[in-house]
Structure 1
Amino acid sequence: MSKAFSHLGMAMRAGKLVTGDDTVLKSIRQGKAHLVIVAGDASDNTKKKFRDKCGFYNVKMAEAFDRVELGKAIGKEARVLIAVTDAGFARMIATQLTSYSEVDHIDKTTGQQR
């Protein structure tokens, strides 16, 4: 997980991350988000909202870390949501995270779990 932390920090310094409910939602809707990370200690409502949005817009979503760890990884205070807006960083970070949500396993044509 430490590589994921360092990659998150690099993405933040490169300006390729957005945080916060409204900003992350906007980046998903605009097709700019390539990976959304939700803190494991986020509320169930937040997890469901972003799982649904990511599923609808076909954006990968991972549930990882807790809010304090997420914030620390990007040099900020506690963060519940992060969207990676660069495809390269998203791939690097996604390979380090193992706890993908079921969004990645839903066939968009049938809506069924694969």
Structure 2
Amino acid sequence: MMMKHKALSLLGMAMRAGKLVTGDETVLKNVKQGKARLVILAGDASDNTKKKYRDKCSTYNVKLVEMFDRVSLGEAIGKSERVLIAVTDAGFSASIMRSLTQPTEVEYID
């Protein structure tokens, strides 16, 4: 069984804590209002969506990471497929960033 990435578990916790928004309009609004601490974009998002959010996040100085795919992101937060997620809490955002930069024990299993 594949171990779930820690970042995905953290997204689930952020969702339950109400520190997370999803969906194009809502994420964009949170970025513009300075509420989004971290935007997570599915690796299989459309090129248009990727460009739009790369531009917006750099304009508003919001961290953007592209990772996982829409199914994993949706499952992590107990929803259907999700292409965009914004984390609105600095603590969760920092923990997720840390979990992405730290090697996980999973990588050493062949």
Give the 4+ runs in structure 1 shifted more than 4 A.
Answer: none
Report percent identity of matched pairs. 73
Partner residue, 1:89 = 92
Task: Give 1:38's aligned amino acid.
Answer: L
Partner residue, 2:66 = 63
The normalised TM-score by structure 2 is: 0.87
How big is the shift at 1:97? 2.0
How big is the shift at 1:36? 0.1
How big is the shift at 1:94? 1.0
Give the root-mean-square deviation of aligned CA atoms.
0.9
- 1:79-110 CA-to-partner distances (Å, cap 9, x unmatched) read 00000000000000111224xxxxxxxxxxxx
1:48 aligns with 2:48: no
Task: Give 1:7's aligned amino acid.
Answer: L
Query: Which runs of 5 or more residues in structure 2 are unaligned?
Result: 102-110
The normalised TM-score by structure 1 is: 0.84
Distance, in Å, in 2 between the alignment partners of 1:64 and 1:2 is 11
Query: Which runs of 5 or more residues in structure 1 are unaligned?
Result: 99-114
